[in-house]
Amino acid sequence: MRYPWAEFRAVLESILVLYLYYMLVLVFLILPPVALQSLGIRLGLRPGTAITLGGLLIAELMALGGAIAYYRRKGLTLGQLGWRRPSNEVAVMVLSLGVALLYSWYTIQIPQVRENIAEISVFKLWGALAGVLAALVEEIIFRGYVMARCQQVKIPLLGQVLLTSVAFSLLHLGFGFIGMLCTLVVGFALGGLYLMGQRNLLGPVLCHCTINAIVEPWLLFWLLQFYSEKFA
């Protein structure tokens, strides 16, 4: 038997968790550059991107710690959140890498990303580190917690994927309409990989981490360049 109130409560709790995560990331993305500007320190795009990535890294570490504590309080085990091996592990890994490479290829079509994509440097490694951690935390929260919580109250699979995909798209509000549309599609793909792997996080984590390892820090660098020119 389905209980509409339980479904509503689960969705409300999920929205609250996602909102707190958004606010944490937003604050630590904005705070470092604003603090430096208030001190009269003006940085170029690369140092500014590196500082912003540092703020993101701090936010993701805090979110990871908060998520683990919250899950324990809710009585959610690692197995329930998706940390178990699927029976179709090889198929999930192959499809996940395929989706990651396809989306990365699309992102590389951005000129500012394409012209730097082959660079190997400390800046690149710093961006990849922050990007991979961000991908890991987002999958633990979006696919791991939200979809697991929705499953507990028997929300249909399409509703689970739709909720997490729309929320994932809204997280990338700063990328504009096309960027949000792309992340909406990626959100559906990540949700599909999660379900294909029998609610295992291996697929979406592998896919998301691969994307960020390839395109960061260049995607963030391009975004900051775009806004710096727009509001110059």
Report the pLDDT averaged over residues 93-114. Answer: 93
47: cis peptide before it, omega within 30°?
Answer: no
Q: What is the pLDDT of residues 60-69, one digit of tens each?
A: 999 999 888 8
Report the pLDDT averaged over residues 136-155. Answer: 88
pLDDT given at position 232: 57
Domain-wise residue ranges, the chain: 4-230
Q: Identify whether the C-beta of residue 88 lies closer than 8 Å to the C-beta of residue 197.
A: yes
Q: Taking 80 as the threshold, does the pLDDT of residue 87 lie above it?
A: no
**How many other β-carbons are positioned within 10 Å of the β-carbon of residue 18?**
21
Q: Taking 50 as the threshold, does the pLDDT of residue 1 lie above it?
A: no
pLDDT grade for 137, boundaries at 50, 70 and 90: very high
Helices (H), 39-156: 45-74, 78-81, 89-107, 111-114, 122-139, 147-152
Distance from C-alpha of 167 to C-alpha of 69, rounded to nearest angstrom = 22
Q: Identify whether the C-beta of residue 165 lies closer than 8 Å to the C-beta of residue 188.
A: yes
The whole-chain average pLDDT of the chain stands at: 87
pLDDT grade for 23, boundaries at 50, 70 and 90: very high
